[in-house]
Amino acid sequence: MGDSMAYQTTIVNPVETEGFGLHTAVASHLRLVPAPADTGIVFRRVDLENFEIEAHVRNVARVSYATSLMKKGVLLSTVEHLLAALYSCGVDNVYVEIDALELPILDGSAQPFIEMLERAGTRRLRRRRKYLQVQKALEFSDGDRRIGIYPAEEFRVRCLIDFAHPMIGVQESEILVGRETFSRELAAARTFGFVEEVEKLQEMGLIRGGSMENAIVLTRDSVLNKGGLRFPDEFVRHKALDLIGDLALVGRPLKALVVAHKAGHALHTQLVTRLLADHSLWKEVTDPPMETRADATPAAAPSPAHAAD
């Protein structure tokens, strides 16, 4: 792997956006700010005196229709799309300032976050990047839903879905995760939902901010959105996007193959929890290994936005 993979990164310039939450419909302002080495991805509730919630599975609260984090009673919802963009682009350290309890859904995909990261740029820091390299397989199931993580020299995900709907059916996607591949193949894939479920979900306090501006809306046999689909298999691409966002809760870049069969947020985060709990399944490595590399340390100067690939 190239030298750019060996060192931690952060963003160069602060960037911001605003919108409203998919589930709460609450307006919010979101800002990404550079952070020093070994910070990780840390959310700051600026409406609550900069209360910090680390993007780590230990802080997972609810994972039904979105991934939510909670620390000391402070909640933050729908973090997965931003996390997928940060993780795929190799941004190791960043503060995410947010002034509400849910991240803005924007267009329902990770594309707006990729565009933010392009504007922000990335820069290399002076600290080596530590990867979590999977050594032994871990797999489990819940009914017909299955998930597994397996040894690999790179980070790859394979996702399969099966919906009894004429526009979906069985779809499968596999991707070697990186800035270029994620931006091209997954980032623009939007979340989706079914018209007949809307009323039930709203009664549960969910999707209050949902619309055809931020989701694919399906009737029993068609897509309601005027522009149609962005990809023929947009549904499985979005599920793979969600999977990557949830895997970011490992807190370190992965070297592993993850295979998800009809899985969802609950199984994704359960996989992360089980993996981290069993130290025999993985080891922490640098790339290239410390003992095979000269001690040259790069300057912490700005580098092109794609330096994190």
pLDDT at residue 296 tops 60:
no
Task: Give me the residue spans of the domains in the chain.
Answer: 3-299
User: What mean pLDDT do residues 282-301 have?
Assistant: 62
Predicted pLDDT of residue 305? 41
pLDDT of res. 202: 73
Please name every residue paired with 97 in a beta bridge, in sequence order, or none if there are none: 31, 44
Q: Which fold has domain 3-299?
A: lpxc deacetylase, domain 1 (3.30.1700)
How far, in Å, CA of 13 to CA of 94, rounded? 11
CA separation for the pair 281, 277 (Å, rounded): 9
pTM over 0.85: yes
Does 265 qualify as catalytic in the annotation? Answer: yes
Q: Is the confidence at residue 231, as pLDDT, over 70?
A: yes
Judge residue 30's burial from the number of C-beta atoms within 10 Å of its C-beta, 0-12 exposed, 13-18 middle, 19 or more buried: buried
The tokens for 162 are: 């099966």
Residue 283 pLDDT level (bands cut at 50, 70, 90): very high
pLDDT of residue 290: 60
Separation in Å, CA 42 to CA 28, 128, 138, 224: 17, 19, 28, 37
Which residue in the list 265, 268, 279, 306 is annotated as catalytic? Answer: 265
Three-state secondary-structure class, residue 284: strand
As a whole number, mean pLDDT of residues 262-273 equals 96
CB neighbours of 92 closer than 8 A, spacing ≥ 6?
A: 8, 9, 10, 37, 40, 41, 125, 129, 253
- Residue 65's pLDDT band, with cuts at 50, 70 and 90, is confident
| Distance of alpha carbon 31 from alpha carbon 99, whole angstroms | 9
Q: For the chain, where are the E strands, in sequence order?
A: 7-11, 15-20, 27-34, 41-45, 51-54, 69-71, 74-76, 94-98, 122-128, 131-134, 138-142, 145-151, 155-163, 169-176, 192-194, 216-218, 254-261, 282-285, 302-303
162 phi, psi to nearest 5 deg: -150, 100
Question: Could you give the C-alpha distances from 10 to 91, 127, 266, 275, 289, in angstroms and in order?
Answer: 6, 11, 29, 26, 22
Confidence class of residue 271 from pLDDT cuts 50, 70 and 90? very high
Cα Rg for the chain, rounded, in angstroms?
Answer: 19
**Tokens describing residue 92:** 């190791």
pLDDT tens-digit series, residues 22-45: 989 999 999 999 999 999 999 999
Please report the pLDDT score of residue 144 as a whole number.
96
